[in-house]
Amino acid sequence: MVAVLAVIMVSYPVVVVTLRAISKQEIGSALTFEWISALVDSARSREALLNTLIYTAGATVLAMGLGVLLAFLSTRTDMPGGRVIGFLALLPMLVPPFILVVGWVAIADPAAGFINIAASALTGSRTSWVSINTMAGLIWMTGLFLTPYVYLMVAAGFRNSDAAMEEAARVSGAGRLRLLYSIVLPLQRPALLAALLLVIIMAAGDFIIPATVGLKAKIYMLPSLIWQNHASFPHRPGLAAAQSLLLVVVGLLCIYFQRRALSRGGRYTTVGGKGARPMLFSLGRLRYPLGVLALLFALSSSVIPLLAVGCMAFMRYWSPYALKPENLTLRNFNYMLFEYPQVWPSAQHSLFLGIAGATACVALAIALAWYVIRARGRLAGIVDYAMVLPLGIPGIALGVGILSLWILVPGGIYGTLWILLLAYVTAHIPVAMQFVGSALHRIHTELEDASRVSGQAWAGTLRRIDIPLMAPALIGSWLLMYVVILREVSLVILLYNPSTIVLSVGLMDVWQNGFYPELAVYSLLLLVLGVIPVALLWKFARFS
């Protein structure tokens, strides 16, 4: 029952998006191919297609290059500070991307960015060295945001590589360079391929950067255009659905190939592997220069933008000449926290949705993981496959799918907080299930058998044996769900209305008003709401 509902929940958005893309009006009206052909017939759509392609390619190359390089340098070389750089490289995952966008605006705005202010001060006249409002700027930000995902997927492989295989290559006469390109990197091929496909999906479906800096710079991309086709005149939801369908197809193809790469990775796994630590490549004279460079990149992916946001939050106004001590003020905090009408309702909604959504995801994940792994129900295979779908569907496209169905149901959940909750659970259940599933896999079935034979029925066994044993994974996945729900924008941008606004979407409003110092305060609030419960729970979980 739960399994059937879960499969329907994750698969109907794809069907709905497809139907909507070939329907003239709402689903059920006459069929047409005008939206599909408008993908390339409309000049704006064509432009967005090309931009999305360039943006995705650029961000993917940057993230892969940076991620693999940082992972290699920090795990497999004698570069100083490897551990610190490894930590810094992962830090952006904890920070809502919106804050980083605000940070980069503060740093590299063509007029008032810190870099250009410094340049003006040096040259004595108004100059603009760098601009974030360019395709290069967009690629730079996205590349940095995606680097931690590459790092995470590749660094573990580097760290756990089997020293014996490399020693065998050395003994067989391979030099360091040959060892690197003939053994070390090829052994990571499945992880590299999986990371590559993940980054392509995330870049192509990324919403926040195209919809903020991208629109400001008039660089149109598919996700931002989908939003515009819904939210502003002329309304063209059919075209939006066709554009979503294109993203969904690309995303699902990537997911398919990623799964295949990971499952074929089996032949790369080696027996044992618990040998000596693999040897560290010596960088020689490049040790320190490379260390400084890596540190700079690692810092610029989170710490530097965060500092810039913090700085901006205290400024009375945001202009090229505003960076003076007399312009520092707490007024922004006072205004945003106590006077801005939207802030507390949206904070309440965000907290409710974060807590309820994370709890629902984890509870459903326990039920589904149990069904697939232990009960091996008849639908186990289907559930397992279906749960992969949302991973390949960009948030904005999932939003289109959910919207297009529920808008048809009169008196339904459309326009309430429940549709947001449904969207969050649909989008994030696969990740929660991966966490819970791998935790359940690690519990030896004899631990459950022993409980059954001892007189405890399956429900009691789940409660007294499995859930306590999975507790760290359950808490971890709950926290992750909470944090990603809090920061989610693309998924709910089409589903909220003024009475259900959430913090992350409220940020988009403030962005469009253009009050950057207030935006900085607002985004810091989002960061604090995300980080404080995580820190508290983490501490509580550690010491209990």
Partner 1 sequence: MTLSVQGLSKAYSAAGARALDDFSLDFPADQCTVLLGPSGCGKTTVLRSIAGLIRPDAGRITVDGAAVFDTATGVDVPPEKRRLGMVFQSYALWPHLSVAENIGYPLVAAGVARAEVARRTAAMLEWIGLPGMGARYVHELSGGQQQRISLGRAMVAKPRAILFDEPLSNLDARLRERMRLELLALRQQAPFTSIYVTHDQLEAMTLADRVVVMRAGEIEQVGSPEEVYKRPRTRFSADFVGIPNLLEATVRSAAGADLVVDTVVGALAARSWRSDWRAGARCTVAVRPTLLTVQAGGRSGRVVRSVFQGASTIELVDFDGTEVTIESLGEERHAPGSTVSMKPAPGAVFAVLDD
Closer CB to partner 1, residue 341 or residue 468? 468
| Residue 203: alpha-carbon gap to chain centroid | 10
Q: How far is 291 from 109, CA to CA, in rounded Å?
A: 28
Question: Whose Cβ is closer to partner 1: residue 136's or residue 450's?
Answer: 450
Cβ proximity to partner 1: between 34 and 449 the closer is 449
For partner 1 (CB under 8 A), the number of binding residues is: 18
Peptide bond into 234 cis (omega under 30): yes
41 binds partner 1 (CB under 8 A): no
Q: Compute the C-alpha angle 387/489/60, nearest 5°.
A: 70
Residue 176 or 452 having the CB closest to partner 1: 452
Rounded Cα distance between 322 and 318, Å, is 6
Smallest distance from the beta carbon of 510 to partner 1, in angstroms?
46
Please say whether the beta carbons of 76 and 94 come within 8 A.
Answer: no
Nearer to partner 1 by Cβ, of 404 and 461: the residue is: 461
Name which of residues 178 to 207 contact partner 1 (CB under 8 A).
none
Q: Using CA atoms, how far apart are residues 194 and 74, in angstroms rounded to an integer?
A: 20
Residue 26: both structure tokens together? 């709402």
Residues 6+ apart with CB under 8 A from 15: 401
Regarding 469 and contact with partner 1 (CB under 8 A), the answer is yes
Q: Minimal distance in Å, beta carbon 383 to partner 1?
A: 22
Residue in the structure block whose two tokens are 């707490």: 330
Q: Are 160 and 188 in contact, with CB atoms under 8 Å apart?
A: no
Q: How far is the CB of 269 from partner 1 (least distance, A)?
A: 23
Quick one: 374 or 428, whose CB is closer to partner 1? 374
Nearer to partner 1, 224 or 451 (CB): 451
Contact 103, 231 (CB under 8 A): no
Q: How far is the CB of 267 from partner 1 (least distance, A)?
A: 25
Between 43 and 459, CB nearer to partner 1: 459
* Least spacing, CB of residue 371 vs partner 1, in Å: 18
Residue 89 · residue 158 · CB < 8 Å: no
Segment 257 to 316, residues that bind partner 1, using CB under 8 A: none
Assess 541 for contact with partner 1 (CB under 8 A): no
Q: How far is the CB of 375 from partner 1 (least distance, A)?
A: 13
Question: By C-beta, is 414 or 458 nearer to partner 1?
Answer: 458
Return d(Cα 534, Cα 542) in angstroms, integer.
12
**Binding characters for partner 1, 388-427, by CB under 8 A (x = yes):** ----------------------------------------
Up-side HSE of residue 190: CA atoms within 13 Å toward CB?
A: 14
Supply the minimum distance, in Å, between the C-beta of residue 445 and partner 1: 9
Q: DSSP secondary-structure letter at 328?
A: B
Residue (4 or 375) nearer to partner 1, CB: 375
Tell me how far, at minimum, the Cβ of 467 lies from partner 1, in Å. 10
* CB neighbour class for 326 (10 Å; exposed up to 12, middle 13-18, buried from 19): exposed
CB of 200 to partner 1, least distance (A): 40
Instruction: Give 47: exposed, middle or buried? Use CB within 10 Å, 0-12, 13-18, 19+.
Output: middle
Residue whose CB is less far from partner 1, 173 or 455: 455
Report in angstroms how near the CB of residue 461 gets to partner 1 at its nearest: 8
Q: Is 26 exposed, middle or buried (0-12, 13-18, 19+ CB in 10 A)?
A: middle
Tokens for 483, please give them.
């944090």
Q: Which amino acid, 428?
A: H
Distance in angstroms (rounded) separating the CA atoms of residues 430 and 482: 14
Amino acid, single-letter form, for residue 432: A
Per CB under 8 A, 474 contacts partner 1? no
Is 468 near partner 1 (CB under 8 A)?
Answer: yes
Q: Determine contact, residues 198/153, Cβ cutoff 8 Å.
A: yes
**Cβ nearer to partner 1, comparing 454 with 497:** 454
Q: How far is the CB of 446 from partner 1 (least distance, A)?
A: 4
Please report, for residues 42, 225, 236, 405, 541, the alpha-carbon distance to residue 34 in angstroms, rounded to integers and kept in the order given: 11, 17, 11, 21, 55
Task: Return the residues of window 437-466 that contact partner 1 according to CB under 8 A.
Answer: 444, 446-447, 449-458, 460, 465
Instruction: Report CA-CA distances (Å) from 534 to 159, 307, 356.
Output: 27, 21, 15
Shortest distance (Å) from residue 455 CB to partner 1:
4
Where do contacts with partner 1 occur on this chain (CB under 8 A)?
444, 446-447, 449-458, 460, 465, 468-469, 471
